[in-house]
């Protein structure tokens, strides 16, 4: 379980209040999404969605298929921009910031290793992600080659340390495209460790991961939360994982937040049950 203190419970919204500001956001909120709307053509995928992520928490984002969870993660990461609403991160309005600017502020999203990195080794994939590499800047190469060397050595050292932590040292020189799905998830987590992450967005980390690797992934998420003070926002359909790791849990349905509370309260909430039941009925038809 996340070691940080559990702060608040927000009771389910009455249906006629859905989409209204969910609650008073607090100073310890690292991320605040307020009244976010996103339309794809005539379809409103996110409908006045408001929730916050407390600094130091592992916040779960759950909800039936199509609820708008991944779209919200895309909006928070900056891959999509809302039609209306505001996103605040670390006290600043980031609604219009580009994804790379968010990344440099420590808002990091994990992603499947893209094709262009699949042919690189696991070690190289880690080294590539380190922020503020002097070698990135042409002027550094011209004027201070020594500094580039030191940076690269430091990044390499950090990459090996990360591999050691993830127990992936034995596959350091494997091509990233050839490792197992579970190992890729660990590598994604490792890539966040090469950055100065503050808020890590994890989209379905458990998907395609076997039980043993899943427990390892969970304990590493807990470790990074506890020891490196990472805050996580985690989308997951595996409710056991959500129960073990997350507090609070935000449940979305039809583009809005239905409830934000501890796992037990969310699980037993009749509106949540109804939302998931609707999904089951749709699948059965």
Question: Measured from the CB of residue 8, what is the shortest distance to ligand ATP in angstroms?
Answer: 24
CA distances from 65 to 32, 38, 111, 283 (A): 23, 17, 19, 10
Q: Which of 22, 52, 60, 69 binds ligand ATP (CB under 6 A)?
A: 69
Question: Measured from the CB of residue 241, what is the shortest distance to ligand ATP in angstroms?
Answer: 14
DSSP H helices, the chain, are 69-77, 99-104, 115-118, 122-129, 138-143, 145-166, 181-193, 211-227, 239-245, 263-268, 270-284
Cis peptide before 9 (omega within 30 of 0): no
Question: Measured from the CB of residue 70, what is the shortest distance to ligand ATP in angstroms?
Answer: 3
Note whether 109 binds ligand ATP by CB under 6 A: no
CA distances from 165 to 85, 189, 219 (A): 39, 11, 11
- Between CA 269 and CA 9 the distance in angstroms is 13
Question: Measured from the CB of residue 77, what is the shortest distance to ligand ATP in angstroms?
Answer: 13
Choose between 238 and 269: whose C-beta lies nearer to ligand ATP: 238
- Between CA 104 and CA 95 the distance in angstroms is 15
φ, ψ (nearest 5 deg) of residue 274: -60, -45
- Between CA 137 and CA 125 the distance in angstroms is 19
Note whether 44 binds ligand ATP by CB under 6 A: no
Choose between 65 and 268: whose C-beta lies nearer to ligand ATP: 65
Q: Which of residues 258-277 bind ligand ATP (CB under 6 A)?
A: none
The region of 47-55, 60-68, 141-149, 181-189 touching ligand ATP under the rule CB under 6 A is 60-68
Choose between 167 and 282: whose C-beta lies nearer to ligand ATP: 282
Choose between 68 and 190: whose C-beta lies nearer to ligand ATP: 68
Choose between 65 and 84: whose C-beta lies nearer to ligand ATP: 65
CA atoms within 13 A on the CB side of 4: 25
- Between CA 147 and CA 167 the distance in angstroms is 30
Note whether 112 binds ligand ATP by CB under 6 A: no
Choose between 40 and 223: whose C-beta lies nearer to ligand ATP: 40
Q: Specify whether the CB–CB gap between 46 and 235 falls below 8 A.
A: no
Choose between 61 and 129: whose C-beta lies nearer to ligand ATP: 61
CA distances from 121 to 5, 184, 192, 224, 239 (A): 39, 12, 17, 24, 33
Site size with ligand ATP, rule: CB under 6 A = 11
Question: Measured from the CB of residue 44, what is the shortest distance to ligand ATP in angstroms?
Answer: 9
The region of 59-67, 94-102, 183-191, 260-268 touching ligand ATP under the rule CB under 6 A is 59-67
Identify the CA nearest to 192 among candidates 239, 151, 143, 233. Answer: 233
Question: Measured from the CB of residue 40, what is the shortest distance to ligand ATP in angstroms?
Answer: 3
Question: Measured from the CB of residue 23, what is the shortest distance to ligand ATP in angstroms?
Answer: 22
Q: Which of residues 205-234 bind ligand ATP (CB under 6 A)?
A: none
Q: Which of 1, 28, 65, 98 binds ligand ATP (CB under 6 A)?
A: 65
Name the site residues for ligand ATP (rule: CB under 6 A): 40, 43, 45, 63, 65-71
């Amino acid at each position: 379980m996340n070691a940080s203190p559990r702060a608040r419970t927000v009771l389910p919204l009455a249906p006629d209040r859905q989409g209204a500001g969910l609650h008073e956001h607090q100073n310890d909120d690292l991320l605040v999404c307020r009244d976010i709307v996103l339309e794809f053509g005539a379809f409103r995928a996110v409908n006045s969605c408001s929730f916050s992520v407390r600094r130091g928490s592992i916040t779960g984002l759950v909800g039936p298929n199509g609820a708008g969870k991944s779209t919200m993660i895309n909006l928070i990461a900056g891959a999509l921009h809302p039609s209306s609403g505001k996103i605040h991160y670390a006290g600043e309005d980031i609604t219009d910031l580009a994804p790379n600017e968010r990344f440099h502020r420590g808002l990091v999203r994990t992603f499947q290793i893209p094709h262009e990195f699949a042919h690189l080794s696991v070690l190289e994939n880690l080294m590539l992600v380190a922020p503020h590499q002097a070698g990135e800047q042409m002027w550094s190469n011209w004027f201070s080659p020594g500094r580039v060397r030191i940076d690269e050595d430091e990044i390499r050292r950090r990459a090996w340390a990360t591999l050691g932590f993830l127990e992936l040292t034995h596959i350091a020189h494997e091509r990233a495209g050839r490792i197992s799905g579970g190992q890729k998830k660990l590598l994604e987590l490792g890539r966040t460790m090469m950055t100065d992450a503050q808020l890590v967005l994890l989209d379905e980390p458990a998907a395609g991961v076997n039980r043993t690797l899943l427990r390892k992934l969970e304990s590493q998420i807990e470790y990074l939360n506890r020891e490196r003070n990472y805050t996580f926002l985690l989308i997951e359909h595996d409710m056991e994982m959500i129960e073990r790791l997350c507090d609070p849990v935000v449940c979305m349905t039809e583009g809005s937040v239905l409830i934000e509370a501890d796992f037990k309260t969310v699980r037993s909430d009749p509106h949540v049950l109804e939302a998931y039941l609707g999904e089951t009925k749709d699948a059965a038809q």
